Amino acid sequence: MKGHRITDSFVALAASARHCIALPRISQTALLKDGRRLIVDRLGVIAVDCGPGSTEGQGRSLFLVVSGFFTMKLCRYVPLEASRDSNVRVGLVRSHTHLADLTHAGIGSLTEILESDAPLELITNALRQPLEEIPLQQIRILAPIERQEVWAAGVTYLRSKSARMEESEFSATAYDRVYDANRPEIFFKSQPDKVVGTGDSVGIRRDATWNVPEPELALVMNSRGVLVGCTIGNDMSSRDIEGENLLYLPQAKVYDRSCSLGPWIELGLTEEVARSRMISITIRRGSAIVFSGETSLGNIKRGFPELIEFLFRSQKFPHGAVLLTGTGIVPDESFTLAVEDDIEISVSELGTLCNKVILV
């Protein structure tokens, strides 16, 4: 199959398929050892032909292949009737409507997968046994984080540098210098238990007058500093506090509900593929869109290995870490968030992180 690499793990995962899927735009096929066809449509959706006489449209997509590699989307969730602190489960997102419960395969945490030497193979083996499939409408998705600290890199886009220089003459020189400096700006963002997930509320400070979201790609690393996947992040910021004095940065960035992540981790997403995608944000106030914007993740100035190396330099993260990579979408000074605003941040092919704004 031109453009796609068929590894043993890939074939094993495909062979575990139990559903058919309607693929009106089939572009490539390959024959599996059991006689079934492995099918790739033009959108990169993978499925296994269920054989002659199968009815189209009765199944779900299994996973996504990008540039020769397949990725998987992992989430933490609880049943709708359960509290956020009980019965937390790990799921593999199988489609826009369903997930497979990996808990029944003995996988009890995201960390177990992220710390594995072969996380994709670990899930592949789990898929060899029957797993319960659960409608997404019947669950509450939690932030895809357990005991990992969240850190952030700043001024990694040219637009971010310009915006920071505009917000404060006092700090302009510092922001200008750090953009081109050998050492990136990296700061602590959140303890894991303070991170909110999709569908939950983010906060704006009651003592700030200029509050904005910062849509960012978040890198997920294990304790060895290996990039294992990516998710979507919102680095909430009080720009008037930060602009008043650079030493106020922790107050502008670190407060209750100032960080959201989700909806899930795309396991196996590489820097090359991530940089080919777009990140966008839409903010609604009632029925009106009050701000929107998008940019390419390819505009991130620093490479992922460089950012990860600086984060792990002279540091230990026994449970792994999450690193926000900076924002390239910054509203102008006339915009500030209001209570009840709805924020949607999307990364193409990864998903959408949704949060409502409250006052904290």
Q: Which two tokens stand for residue 58?
A: 């009765």
Q: Which two tokens stand for residue 121?
A: 């193979």
Residue 1 lies in a domain: no
Helix (H, G, I), strand (E, B) or coil at 305: helix
User: Which range, of 20-29, 120-129, 277-286, 346-355, averages the lowest pLDDT?
Assistant: 20-29
User: Are residue 162 and residue 233 in the same domain, yes or no?
Assistant: yes
More confident residue, 55 or 105: 105
C-alpha–C-alpha distance, residues 157 and 297, integer Å: 9
User: Are residue 198 and residue 120 in the same domain, yes or no?
Assistant: no
C-alpha–C-alpha distance, residues 232 and 226, integer Å: 18
Which residues, in sequence order, are bridge partners of residue 150? 190, 322
Q: Which two tokens stand for residue 166?
A: 């505009």
Identify the pLDDT of residue 95. 83
C-alpha–C-alpha distance, residues 304 and 270, integer Å: 9
Q: Which of 91, 107, 95, 114 minimizes the C-alpha distance to 43?
A: 95
Residue 3 lies in a domain: no
Q: How many residues does the chain have?
A: 360
- What pLDDT, in 10s, does the model give residues 45-77? 455 554 544 433 334 334 444 434 567 899 999
Residue 2 lies in a domain: no
Helix (H, G, I), strand (E, B) or coil at 158: helix
47, 49, 53, 56: CA torsion to nearest 10: 20
More confident residue, 196 or 25: 196
User: Are residue 113 and residue 185 in the same domain, yes or no?
Assistant: no
Is 121's pLDDT higher than 70?
yes
Identify the pLDDT of residue 123. 87
User: Are residue 106 and residue 197 in the same domain, yes or no?
Assistant: no
User: Are residue 138 and residue 154 in the same domain, yes or no?
Assistant: no
Inter-residue contact 301 to 179 (CB < 8 Å): yes
Residues above pLDDT 90, as percent of the chain: 62
Inter-residue contact 41 to 246 (CB < 8 Å): no
User: Are residue 105 and residue 227 in the same domain, yes or no?
Assistant: no
Residue 287 lies in a domain: yes
User: Are residue 97 and residue 159 in the same domain, yes or no?
Assistant: no
User: Are residue 278 and residue 238 in the same domain, yes or no?
Assistant: yes
- Give the DSSP H/E element, type plus range, for residue 119: helix 119-126
* Whole-number average pLDDT of the chain: 83
Residues above pLDDT 70, as percent of the chain: 76
Is 357's pLDDT higher than 50?
yes
Q: How far is CA 148 from the centre of its chain?
A: 14
User: Are residue 132 and residue 259 in the same domain, yes or no?
Assistant: no
| The last residue of a domain, from among 109, 142, 175 | 142
Residue 125 lies in a domain: yes
User: Are residue 56 and residue 97 in the same domain, yes or no?
Assistant: yes
Place of tokens 């059991």: 34
Q: Which of 116, 123, 124, 351 minimizes the C-alpha distance to 230?
A: 351
Q: How many domains does the chain have?
A: 2
Residue 137 lies in a domain: yes
Residue 159 lies in a domain: yes
The range of the structural domain enclosing residue 34 comes to 8-142
Range ranked top by mean pLDDT from 71-75, 86-90, 120-124, 347-351: 347-351
User: Are residue 98 and residue 227 in the same domain, yes or no?
Assistant: no
Inter-residue contact 149 to 192 (CB < 8 Å): yes
Average pLDDT of the residues in 37-51: 50
Q: What does pTM read for this prediction?
A: 0.82
Where residue 338 sits, what CATH number does that domain have?
Answer: 3.90.850.10
Residue 162 lies in a domain: yes
| The last residue of a domain, from among 97, 125, 142 | 142
| The last residue of a domain, from among 78, 112, 142 | 142
264 CB-side CA count, 13 A: 26
Place of tokens 């074939």: 11
User: Are residue 208 and residue 61 in the same domain, yes or no?
Assistant: no
